[in-house]
Structure 1
Amino acid sequence: MAGRGRRARCPRTVELPGKAGKGRGATIAGVCALTQRAGRTRRSGSVSTSAAGVADRLQFPVAAPRAHGEPGHLVVLEGVDRSGRSTHARLLEEWLRHAGHGVIRTSFVTSRLAAPRIRDVRRQADPDPFETFLLYAADLTERIEQVIMPSLRAGLVVLVDRYAYTPIARAAARGVDLVWLESVLAFAPPPDLVCFLDVAPADALQRHREIAEARLDADGLDAYREFQEGVYRVFDEAARRWGFTRVPATADIGSTHAALDRVVGDLLDGGGADAAHRRLPASLRGRR
């Protein structure tokens, strides 16, 4: 994993596993160029990350608190689609601010450079998993350079709605080699805590079934469900090695938020925020 002292950067060349690289040179070069542009357009001030060595690149665990070398805390929420990541990231931000912590929240696919291309790729019927993954890597690089590392250096709590683990799990679910995926994103600073919102894909989909059915036909819905089940399997099998903290997310929003508040509070100050800080608005009580 990336350590302290030098800026993270995309490798000049990315070797794809097996025969996957044939005919993709221009795509990969373009994606790596995006990550370099993200670095050049970062806000003023040096960014304290570095490329990891070969030995580190084959490991992708959550490290000991503040192993990224900065005074802030890096807290990540992961899970399958519709597991409640964005909702709970927003609620955690609100509650931590109320408890007196300096907080910043960053979300998946918010890069000014990579996000438009990612949206285009998502509209394709059968997107290339390597291109998609490398675009996600470009998005992550910009977020690390411009938001995550400067905020950690400032001593803030950085709440990340999906980090390096989501693009790895999505590509692995489409058959890309897991070790290779981990090695490409090994430049990412190690989180202090990763909360895995543990809910079965079928249950998560049921929460928003009407929306999904409006967007997809029966075949598309089946394919989407199968893909999310593959993503869940990757998370489930790698959770112990990656050091995830499992948070059951099948209950109502209030119960899940209270569980998240406890584990995040334990990281920050040895205990959850005051019970008053955990009270949900009436509109959210009992919601799933």
Structure 2
Amino acid sequence: MPTVVCIAGGDASGKSTQVAAVSAVLRDRGIRVAEAGIWDALDAPAIASRLPFRDRDEVFGYLRVLRPLSRALFLFHAVQVAVELAADTEPEVILLNAYWYKYFATEVAHGGDASALRAYASGFPEPDLTCYLKVSPQTALSRKLERSDYESGYGDADTFLRFQQHSQTVLDGLSRELGWRELDGTADPNTLTATIAAAIPIGAAL
């Protein structure tokens, strides 16, 4: 069984940057790594050829007309597909980008029932390690060159800040409950990479 590591955090917290960087470090050490992110199905030919969506913009257009519970089912399905695609490569380590955690928090911020959404997520296994990159909503906004309607609560910059604060509060609760390792997302990226790589459990054969 591979060691499963999640890089959690809100929008613009540096998740994708760290997933790529930690992946490179592990590969340099001769470890087989697979990355898993919610958009992976769009890049898998056997799946993408059968999807009604050509790109992310079309997915976001579909998400906008859904309500939180139906939207979460779609998003969680995409996360599960990404995990399965990663596992198919028989890696030693799977690096999860956001996992279900971000989308749970976001849908709660959109007004979804937390108990129902948590029930939806009950089939997802808990990673061996979750590192939570924390940044303020103000920092997240300053990092965003473009904001999707979805991550902005379908509003303007002020709505983005309130929406991200709500989402972050939910993530903070998950962190306390599940014992995540919290990291300052504004720290030096190389330092963060080294910290995350060093924390990966022995199963990763570091």
| TM tier, smaller | 0.7 to 0.9
The counterpart of 1:232, out of the listed 124, 145, 168, is 168
Rounded Cα–Cα distance in structure 1 between residues aligned with 2:192 and 2:83? 27
Q: Distance in 2 between matches of 1:178 and 1:189?
A: 18
The residue aligned with 2:22 is: 92
1:143 to 57, 82, 103: 82
The 5-angstrom pairing of residues 173-184 of structure 1 reads: 173-184=109-120
Partners in 1 of 2:116 and 2:52 — Cα distance? 23
Which among 32, 37, 55 is matched to residue 107 of structure 1? 37
> In the alignment, residue 187 of structure 2 is paired with which amino acid?
A
- 1:15-37 CA distances to partner (integer Å, 9 max, x unpaired)? xxxxxxxxxxxxxxxxxxxxxxx
Q: Which runs of 5+ in 1 are unaligned?
A: 1-70, 274-288
% identical equivalent positions: 24
Q: Tell me if 1:129 matches 2:68.
A: yes
**Partner Cα separation in structure 1 for residue 169 and residue 203 of structure 2:** 27
How big is the alpha-carbon RMSD for the aligned residues of Structure 1 and Structure 2? 2.8
1:266 Cα offset (Å): 6.1
Structure with the higher helix share, 1 or 2: 2
SS at match of 1:108: coil
Letter in structure 2 aligned against 1:135: F
1:62 is aligned to none
CA shift at 1:121, angstroms? 5.2
Size of the aligned set, in residue pairs, is 193
In the TM superposition, 1:44-83 aligns within 5 A as 71-83=1-13
User: Runs ≥4 in structure 1, deviation > 3 angstroms?
Assistant: 112-115, 117-121, 123-127, 265-269
Higher relative contact order (CA 8 A, sep 6+): 2
Residue 168 of structure 1 pairs with residue 111 of structure 2: no
Q: Secondary structure at the match of 1:175?
A: coil
Normalised by the length of structure 2, the TM-score is 0.80
Quote the residue 1:241 is aligned against.
Answer: 177
Q: Distance in 2 between matches of 1:267 and 1:206?
A: 37
**CA offset digits 1:248-287 (Å, max 9, x no partner):** 1112212222222222266635xxx6xxxxxxxxxxxxxx
What's the offset of the Cα at 1:110?
2.3
TM-score normalised by length of structure 1:
0.59
**Cα distance in structure 1, aligned partners of 2:11 and 2:141:** 8
Structure 2, unmatched stretches of 5+, are: 42-47
Query: Are the equivalent residues in 1 in contact too, given 2:12–2:143 (CA < 8 A)?
Result: yes
